[in-house]
Structure 1
Amino acid sequence: MFSLLNLQSLFGLAVIVALCWGLSENRRSFPWRLAAGAIGVQALLVLALFAIPGSQVVLSAITGAVDGVAAATAKGTQFVFGYLAGGDQPYVVGNQGALFTFAFNVLPLILVISALSALLWHWKILKWITLGFGFLFQRTMGLGGASALAVAANIFLGMIESPIVIRAYLDKLTRSEVFLMMVVGLGTVAGSTMVAYAAILAPVLSNAAGHVLVASIVSAPAGILVARIMIPEQPGQGGAVADYGSALKYDSAIDAIVKGTSDGLMVVMNISAVLIVFVALVALVNLMIGGIVIADAPLTLERFLGWLFMPVAWLTGVEWSQAGKAGWLLGTKLTLTEFVAFIELGKVPLEAMNERTRMLMTYALCGFANIGSVGITVTGLSVLMPERRDEVLGMIWKALFGGFVTTLMTAAVVGAMPAAIFS
């Protein structure tokens, strides 16, 4: 049964598309067929992953696999860090919740999943899954082979790792295709971080691992649509053909594990550094504006972002009574990264946020579109295609907007679905 909240999400979907059209470089060239196809593919993927018979068994298996990886990672972390990582405590612990430490309980997951992803790529398991999605996007959404493969790789790899897969074709991509790659990269997440997000949300959201995986998959067609609306492809251009070979190769299983671990370490260090700096900057801003009292409480950046993003959260289908908290989470994602936003979402008491809002925010937060990712994207793409650095710099802020609204579009599509399919 459809409700007013479903219609609210549909209205939000229309507003998001209209905003992208308003920022388009060619408003006369609106991809109507692509818009219908992208939203249709999103809806079908959500239905396929949640509504078809047996899908809940698959999602439960994904959750079980994530729990298994988390438990195995905890063993390795405790071997290195002992009681600091939740091992046997040398003293009586009065507050068990205080034992959770982001550095020891979340970041090691990224190392393990990064190594596993590299190993699965070397064994061609992840590679064939990626090729399958690439073929789907190529056939259903009219992408060139190289762009389709990069988009598919973004679902499982990172926003910098995926261009490596099509490195031989980067110089052949049009401006529109480069922008598409940037938007999808910012609008999805890497496999290494998916498990970390799921671990954070597991205590407060049923099927958290399934929702996070679906969010990254479903956001890919949304990112394609957003990018094509904002920077349409010129007639007769684009469509670089790829032979679906890959520049991402490993010499052996051991080589894959070692290089995957090394790549994961770089991700962990980047995340740690960005979180330290951005959390410190927000605290500094709060100290400067803390003397301003509004509604009998000091003004903070979090409160300001909550007010600013309330209408945005409402457009995804969130009830207005909870839009303030949801808007704060969206603002936190944009300024402090999605990691902080997911941690804060996991801290929200069950009675303070209903299941629908919590689920919609999981989809809306599940993307790399934050201010810190701007520097990572520019740096990474500048290394891969230095001759196009100025072009990347000229599109990066528009790509950040595109990546941000990509996840909002995904949340709106999910919000428009009947609640029964998720139960």
Structure 2
Amino acid sequence: MFRIENAQSLLGLIVIIALCWAVSENRRVFPWRLAAGALLIQLLLVLGLFGLPPLRAVVAALGQGVEALAAATQTGVAFVFGFLAGGEGQPYAVANSGALFVFAFRVLPVILVVCALAALLWHWGVLKVVTRAFGLVFEKTMGLRGPPALAVAATIFMGQVEGPIFIRSYLARLSRSELFMLISVGMSCVAGSTMVAYAAILKDVLPNAAAHIITASVISAPAGVLLARILVPRDIAAEQSEPLETGSEKSYESSIDAVSRGVSDGLQIALNIGATLIVFVALAAIVNGLLGLLPDIAGAPLTLERILGVIFAPLVWLIGVPAHDAQIAGALLGVKLVLTEFTAFIQLGATPVAAIDPRTRVLMAYALCGFANIASVGMNVAGYSVLVPERRSEVIGMVWKAMFVGFLATCLSASVVGLLPRELFH
């Protein structure tokens, strides 16, 4: 049954695409076939994963696997940190069990385990097959060349800078449009390591949290490709002048080497996330402290979250959020952009179940599930400066546009989900 809320999301989908077209480098070129194909892929994926019983069972099994992975991780954390990691065996009476959930002990260690597991699965060939299958789908349905298609698929599972590593030898020969697309897709998705962390944060407030997070990252890839191609249209002449053949450089010497290097990579990611959260949350507290010096507005203190809520309320309404939730949801979207998506997911997880509509929570899980934030701009410049130093100035010139695309790509994914009946996700 098509409701007003679904029409709301349809309007948001049209506005997001129109906005990207309005700031396109060549408005006379619009990828109509790509737009139809990308949106169709998104709809079919969501309908298949949540509407078909066999696939829904697979998604449910993945969710249980995520929970089992988180539980196994806690076993390792408890062995190292003892009662500090929470759980049983507390030496003191616990008055507030919720206080036992410490981010540094419950979320960051999951990243270490997932990175090690991903490296091992890649070495064994399992993740290779999955990545190449997605790459083939993107190549055939969205007109991507082999190496960029492989990098887009790898980005879904490995991350915004780690994905392009798989085609490092080709980066210098990619067209400007393809390079922009890779950066944009990197900001549209999240890494496999953080997917599990987000699912752990939301599991108590969002049914099938793991399924939603996995689906969100996957469907945001074609959304990122589409919006990137609209902003910087495909240069067929440049692609024909630089023929490419699919290849991959990522390899490990043994299973032990894969696990060891995966742990090392995971540690770097976890430390970077922890340090970034400390700094950005501290900066937000400083801003709120300064805003607190101003008189109250509408009977309440002025805060960064309130300001962001007002700014982004129209956008979240367009993707399908009810008007009465727009202020809260808009603040979450703003926090994602300014303070990283991790901070936004933590706030979404801390939002009481009764405080917002269940549909709002589902839509925001998709809208927040991407790396498009100010911190990622620096990470991409640093990463690509190492991967392809000869194109550093080119990356710097397009990275803010890529953040714009990545930010809107997750909103586009949320709009696609908003087109579907809410009963599908119960």
TM-score over 0.5 for the pair: yes
Worse-matched range after superposition: 112-121 or 50-59? 50-59
Name 1:29's counterpart in structure 2: 29
CA deviation vs aligned residue, 1:3-62 (integer Å, no higher than 9, x gap):
010010000000000110011000001111111111111111111111113222112101
Match of 2:257 in 1: 255
CA distance in structure 2 between the aligned counterparts of 1:243 and 1:117, rounded to whole angstroms: 25
Secondary structure (helix, strand or coil) at the match of 2:340 reads: helix
Q: Take 1:285 and 1:421, find their aligned partners in 2: how far apart are those partners?
A: 41
2-side partners of 1:39 and 1:393: how far apart?
29
**Structure 1 unmatched runs, 5+:** none
Q: Deviation digits for residues 266-317 of structure 1, max 9, x if unmatched?
A: 1011101111111111110111111221011110101100111100110110
Q: What is the aligned partner in structure 1 of residue 67 from structure 2?
A: 67
Partner of 1:246: 248
Which residue in the other structure is 2:266 paired with? 264
Please tell me whether the aligned partners of residues 48 and 56 of structure 2 are also in contact (alpha carbons under 8 angstroms).
no
Partner of 2:202: 201
For the 8 Å contact 1:74–1:105, the answer to whether it is kept is yes
Shift of 1:192: 0.4
Match of 2:317 among 314, 317, 322: 314
What amino acid does structure 1 have at the position aligned with 2:383? Answer: G
One-letter amino acid of the structure 1 residue matched with residue 196 of structure 2: V
Partner of 2:53: 53
**Residue matched to 2:237:** 236
Name the residue aligned to 1:163. Answer: 164
Aligned to 2:277: 275
What displacement does 1:168 show? Answer: 1.4
Amino acid at match of 2:29: S
**Which sits farther off after the overlay, 106-115 or 44-53?**
44-53
User: Following the alignment from structure 1 to structure 2, what is the Cα–Cα distance between the partners of residues 156 and 283?
Assistant: 33
CA offsets 1:240-282 (integer angstroms, 9 cap, x no match): 6554331111111100000000000010111011111111111
**Contact persistence 1:144–1:241 (CA under 8 A):** no
Residue type of the alignment partner of 1:32 = W
Residue 217 of structure 1 corresponds to 218
Asked if residue 380 in structure 1 is aligned to residue 383 in structure 2, the reply is yes
The AA in structure 2 aligned to 1:190 is A
Q: Which residue, out of 378, 399, 403, partners 2:402? A: 399
Amino acid at match of 2:64: G
Spell out, residue by residue over 1:58-115, the C-alpha distance to the aligned partner (whole angstroms, 9 max, x if none). Answer: 1210111011101100000011111110142111111110111110010000000000
SS of equivalent residue, structure 1 residue 236: helix
- 1:192 and 2:190 equivalent? no
Structure 1 equivalent of residue 77 of structure 2 = 77
Aligned counterparts of 1:167 and 1:258: Cα–Cα separation in 2: 22
Question: How many angstroms apart in 2 are the aligned matches of 1:167 and 1:371?
Answer: 24
CA contact 2:147–2:247 (8 Å) conserved in 1: no
Amino-acid identity (%): 59
Point out the more displaced range, 382-391 or 283-292. Answer: 283-292
Q: Is the 8 A contact 1:216 1:367 kept in 2?
A: yes
Q: Any conservation in 1 of the 2:175–2:238 contact (CA below 8 Å)? A: yes
| Residue in structure 1 matched with residue 340 of structure 2 by the alignment | 337
- Give yes or no for contact 1:7–1:416 (8 Å, CA) kept in 2: yes
Query: 1:419, CA displacement in angstroms?
Result: 2.0
For the 8 Å contact 1:20–1:230, the answer to whether it is kept is yes
User: Which residue, 284, 293, 299 being the options, matches 2:286?
Assistant: 284
Cα distance in 1 for partners of 2:253, 2:22 equals 48
Structure 1 position 420, deviation (Å): 2.8
Structure-2-length-normalised TM-score: 0.98
What amino acid is the match of 1:149?
L
Rounded to whole Å, the distance in 1 between the matches of 2:86 and 2:193 is: 22
SS in 2 for 1:294: coil
Task: Give the TM-score normalised by the residue count of structure 1.
Answer: 0.98
In structure 1, how many angstroms separate the alpha carbons of the residues matched to 2:254 and 2:236? 43
Instruction: Give 1:177's aligned residue.
Output: 178
Between the aligned partners of 1:421 and 1:236, the Cα distance in structure 2 is 44
C-alpha contact (below 8 Å) 1:146/1:241 kept by paired residues: no
**How many residues are matched?**
423
Cross-structure match for 1:9: 9
Question: Does the 8 Å CA contact 1:145/1:241 hold for their aligned counterparts?
Answer: no
Q: Secondary structure at the match of 2:172?
A: helix
Structure 1 letter corresponding to 2:140: R
Which aligned pairs between 1:59-138 and structure 2 lie closer than 5 A?
Answer: 59-87=59-87, 88-138=89-139
Cα displacement string for residues 135-184 of structure 1 (whole angstroms, at most 9, x for unaligned residues)? 00000010111111111111101111111100111111011000000000
Structure 2: gaps of 5 or more residues = none
Counterpart of 2:372 in structure 1 is 369
Q: Distance in 2 between matches of 1:69 and 1:349?
A: 25
Query: In the alignment, what sits opposite 1:154?
Result: 155
Aligned position for 1:390: 393
